[in-house]
Structure 1
Amino acid sequence: MALVDYATSAGVALLTLNDPPVNGYTHEMMKDLDAAILEARFDNDVHVIVITGHGEKFFCAGANINMLRESDPTFKYYFCLHANETLSRLEHTPKLCIAALNGHTVGGGLEIAMACDLRIARKGAGKVGLPEVALGVLPGTGGTQRLARLIGKSRAIQLMCEGQTFDFETALAVGLINDVWETASHDEFMDRILAYSHTFTLPDRAALAVGRIKRAVQTGFEVGLEQGLALERELQAELFTSEDAREGLAAYMEKRKPVFQGK
């Protein structure tokens, strides 16, 4: 049985971490997530990737502790390496990725969410944090690096060394997540997430441009300004040759709504 459910709808791929009750990830789940990311990457009809957790209580509680306790150091190393590669693959895919935080998002679960471009949480559904210090280890699936880049070095060190978990409103205030939505139910939250995701798809939004905005920021942020500007110019030159750019410019001049095709 797959540990990551995969479904598509009108340009959006929905990836659901599915290992109740806490959706903790094993190497098997990470391999399924890796495969799902690649499937969405190669699908020309997919423009947005949404990642969420099964059920109403957990997005993901992080790595499966029993798996880590029973495995040897060599397995642990390669497990972390593959998890890093998987999340980097998600981050480098030039399609917008949204983490729908439907419940508690802690440890490696938050590390998965931080590899997404946007993080939107359901109000009151759970807490977030990187409490690995309580286990005598550090957040080893990109947590130390991505958290510092999102909220700054000093605050990141504080949160990880204290091992705090905190509510979504606090996460919003420190810049860790993008928005908190109040909804009557989990189903309403997911319906709203998918509706929001569809605003980034064809024909109303230039999905090629969205993907390259993501790529320019995700890659350019990690290099010097001059290299980032060079990447930006190359991506812009690529977009200028697209039919969507011609359509966008023509629609602006003709004072009409553009119809994008992803070409």
Structure 2
Amino acid sequence: MTTETLTVDVVDEHRWRVVVDNGPTNLVTPELVRDLHATVERIVAEPELKVVVFESANELFWVNHFDLARIKDFPPLWTDAVIKLSTAPVVSIAKVRGRARGGGDELLLACDIRYASRERAVVGQIEVGTGILPGGGATERLPRLIGRDRALEAILSADDYPAELAERYGWVTRAVPDADLDGVVDALATRLAGFDKQALAAAKRQVNRATLPPEADLHAAYQEFLASLSFPGYPRRLGGLRELFAQHGPRLEVDLGPLLGDIA
């Protein structure tokens, strides 16, 4: 299945690849949210499916932040999609090359296992640096993965984290040399696809009981994100971002995390 923003490659009845390809910087747009939600619904409903690998067609961006210029067009589907992905009776593996910031990082956090290219993966939560709040799950999931202090550092600093540091924190499961990333992910997906689905799903449910945030908290965070768009500091930070774009052009998205600190 190919949609406007992603392609589902059915490797076999037990394994799928979901490849995100949404324009030059893989922004989370209303179209991507709709396509992702529909794909997660298919994942949940497929009786023989055991493993899904999420990856990107873009070498610089795994999945990027929300396209805030179109926030009024977003369907209210994001939180439902990431909750269903985390609770699906299917193992989701993120294979990360490029940047996963904001909403993209929150999709990463909703996956069960996260393998990142040591040389090319970058993660981060940029929202506070733009004058708003995260709303897609980072404030609920990151503290459970990396601890309160490191989650505060990551969210408040709005900076980029390279794969090796993210691995040390526990943000990603493993940082793998880029040349080995495809083989490592394929080997795990193949191994899991050979196991019994009932055992895989039941084991995941057990771990979920101890680790997943309450669904109500995820819904509340999205509403707080929407409310933060009316913070008085947000328009000022947007003006600073426009000035940065005038200086750096399209390269701004590549170096966005560090450059947020340059906004006056």
TM category (shorter chain) comes to: 0.7 to 0.9
Residues in 1 aligned to 2:17 and 2:132: alpha-carbon distance in whole angstroms = 31
1:4 to 1:154, Cα distance in 2 relative to 1, 3 A = same
Equivalent position of 1:119 in the other structure = 114
Equivalent position of 1:38 in the other structure = 41
Residues in 1 aligned to 2:117 and 2:140: alpha-carbon distance in whole angstroms = 25
Equivalent position of 1:169 in the other structure = 164
DSSP 3-state at the match of 1:14: strand
Equivalent position of 1:7 in the other structure = 9
Deviation track 1:212-238 (CA, whole Å, cap 9, x = no partner) reads: 1112211343599xxxxxxxxxxxxxx
Q: 1:108 aligns with which of 96, 99, 103?
A: 103
Equivalent position of 1:64 in the other structure = 67
DSSP 3-state at the match of 1:62: coil
Q: Map 1:69-108 onto structure 2 (within 5 A).
A: 71=72, 79=75, 81-108=76-103
DSSP 3-state at the match of 1:46: coil
Indicate the percent of aligned positions where both proteins have the same amino acid. 25
Residues in 2 aligned to 1:31 and 1:155: alpha-carbon distance in whole angstroms = 32
Q: Look up the equivalent residue of 2:185 and give its one-letter code.
A: I
Q: Map 1:101-250 onto structure 2 (within 5 A).
A: 101-184=96-179, 189-202=181-194, 205-222=195-212
Instruction: State whether structure 2 residue 33 is matched by structure 1 residue 25.
Output: no
Indicate the RMSD between aligned Cα atoms, in angstroms: 2.0
Contact 2:64 2:101 in 1 (8 A): yes
Please say which of residues 85-94 and 191-200 is displaced more in the overlay. 191-200
Equivalent position of 1:260 in the other structure = none
Q: 1:49 aligns with which of 46, 52, 64?
A: 52
Residues in 2 aligned to 1:3 and 1:63: alpha-carbon distance in whole angstroms = 14
**Aligned length in residues:** 211
**Unaligned regions of 5+ residues in structure 1, if any?**
225-263
Residues in 2 aligned to 1:183 and 1:223: alpha-carbon distance in whole angstroms = 31
Pick the structure with greater CA Rg. 1
Contact 2:117 2:177 in 1 (8 A): yes
Q: Look up the equivalent residue of 1:170 and give its one-letter code.
A: L
1:59 to 1:218, Cα distance in 2 relative to 1, 3 A = same
Please say which of residues 213-222 and 42-51 is displaced more in the overlay. 213-222
The structure showing larger relative contact order (alpha-carbon pairs under 8 Å, at least 6 residues apart) is 2
Residues in 1 aligned to 2:57 and 2:190: alpha-carbon distance in whole angstroms = 21
Contact 1:22 1:61 in 2 (8 A): yes
Q: CA deviation at 1:191?
A: 4.7
DSSP 3-state at the match of 1:5: strand
TM-score (norm 1): 0.75
Contact 1:61 1:107 in 2 (8 A): yes
DSSP 3-state at the match of 2:172: coil
Q: CA deviation at 1:55?
A: 2.3
Q: CA deviation at 1:44?
A: 2.1
Residues in 2 aligned to 1:121 and 1:49: alpha-carbon distance in whole angstroms = 16
Deviation track 1:123-146 (CA, whole Å, cap 9, x = no partner) reads: 211311101111111111011101
Q: CA deviation at 1:31?
A: 1.1
